A and B are shown apart, each in its own frame.
Chain A
Amino acid sequence: MAELMADRVEKLKDADVFVYHGKIFIPNTYTAGAVGSRFLIELRDHKKIMGTRCPTCDKVYVPARSICKYCFAQLDQWEEVSDKGTLLTYTVAGQSNGVQPVAPPIIYGIIQLDGASTGLVHMLSEVDFEKLVIGMRVKAVFREKRVGSILDIKYFKPLA
């Protein structure tokens, strides 16, 4: 089997290799929904990060969601949370895949904002990779021109 494989590899060495350049493009649009829309509109118009509270489970979900994932209660108590938070975990993506919002390297992080019970996935910037540490305090940086997207938060940067 090994000889056969070696033979194949030898044969393929001189072969013309043809590379097909494909491009998957499936444009689609969906609605953020009633709760998601309100969350994004508050972000766009007032630079506020909002969450919804479940009184039974004593949890504040950020980003806001309409149903508590533990007790399935309908959530209608809106609460503003701080734009400062704690880094729960992070990773550094060095490779571009064409659909990322900014050029690599990108630091992705999960940030628990003060007042929230859950983590928010976002990006970090203005920080050296060596200085990244779980538990560090970070602060949201908002865009000047906001369009109603989670990217209206430009990134999170370390506090002080």
Chain B
Amino acid sequence: MTTEKKADKKPEYIKVEIAKPRAYRWSTGKYLGKLYKEAMEKKRLVTNRCPKCKQLLWPPSAVCGRCNVEAGEDWVEMNDKGTVIQYTYLVFPLWDPHYGDRLANPYPTATIKLDEGVFLVHFLEEKDPEKLKKVKRVQAVWKEEGRGRGLADILYFRTIDE
């Protein structure tokens, strides 16, 4: 290592790299835990219903925000099909902050209204900006491996003909 030689040409700068992941565990709680567990084990979306106003709560929660009553255990299994309400076409390199995975780029993101009336934001499979304009009905495509991360267990929503 000849630093003197290098110093004649160009000063050497040391790079400091931080590349270690930080693992953490988070208890989801009872209600969100049910959703996560159903998604992980049975690849399905569930949520609970308010006993007073009979509306679906999303995400599943202990108390209904509209009626201020305890929501209880009236669980409903939801269809994983829905309608695209709006979408945006993002072209930007990003990491998933919760897991450190590189997100796909570009990744069209949409607000999807499930058949039960619940809104959720997720990715679309369709990556062609022109074809995206015509996407209406979509269905969830579940991950085959590494589930256990709630809605991230859904890879993306695939266009279906209906």
Give chain B residues whose Cβ lies under 8 Å from the Cβ of A12: 30
Minimum Cβ distance to chain A for residue B138 (Å): 25
The 8 Å CB contact of A97, one of B22, B36, B148, is: B22
Is there an interface contact between B25 and A23, defined as CB atoms closer than 8 Å?
A: no
Give chain A residues whose Cβ lies under 8 Å from the Cβ of B53: none
The 8 Å CB contact of B3, one of A17, A30, A41, A99, is: A41
Is there an interface contact between B25 and A21, defined as CB atoms closer than 8 Å?
A: yes
Chief secondary structure at chain B's binding surface: mixed
Given the known inter-chain contacts A18-B32, A34-B11, please indicate yes or no for A23 contacting B21, CB distance below 8 A.
Answer: yes
| Assembled-state Cα–Cα distance A25/B148 (Å) | 18
| Assembled-state Cα–Cα distance A40/B33 (Å) | 48
> How many residues on the B side are at the interface (Cβ–Cβ under 8 A)?
34
| Assembled-state Cα–Cα distance A92/B18 (Å) | 23
Is there an interface contact between B34 and A16, defined as CB atoms closer than 8 Å?
A: yes
**Smallest CB-CB separation from A97: which chain B residue?**
B22
Is there an interface contact between A34 and B13, defined as CB atoms closer than 8 Å?
A: yes
Judged by a CB distance under 8 angstroms, whether B91 is at the interface is no
Chief secondary structure at chain A's binding surface: mixed
Size category, A interface: 20 to 34
Is there an interface contact between B21 and A24, defined as CB atoms closer than 8 Å?
A: yes
Is there an interface contact between A25 and B99, defined as CB atoms closer than 8 Å?
A: yes
Is there an interface contact between B27 and A37, defined as CB atoms closer than 8 Å?
A: no
| Assembled-state Cα–Cα distance A99/B20 (Å) | 6
User: Chain A 1-43, CB within 8 Å of chain B: the 1/0 string?
Assistant: 0000000000010011111111111111111111011001100
A27-B18, A40-B14, A149-B16 known; 13 new pairs, CB 8 Å cut-off, are A16-B37, A20-B149, A22-B23, A22-B26, A23-B99, A25-B21, A25-B99, A26-B97, A28-B18, A29-B15, A31-B16, A32-B13, A41-B12
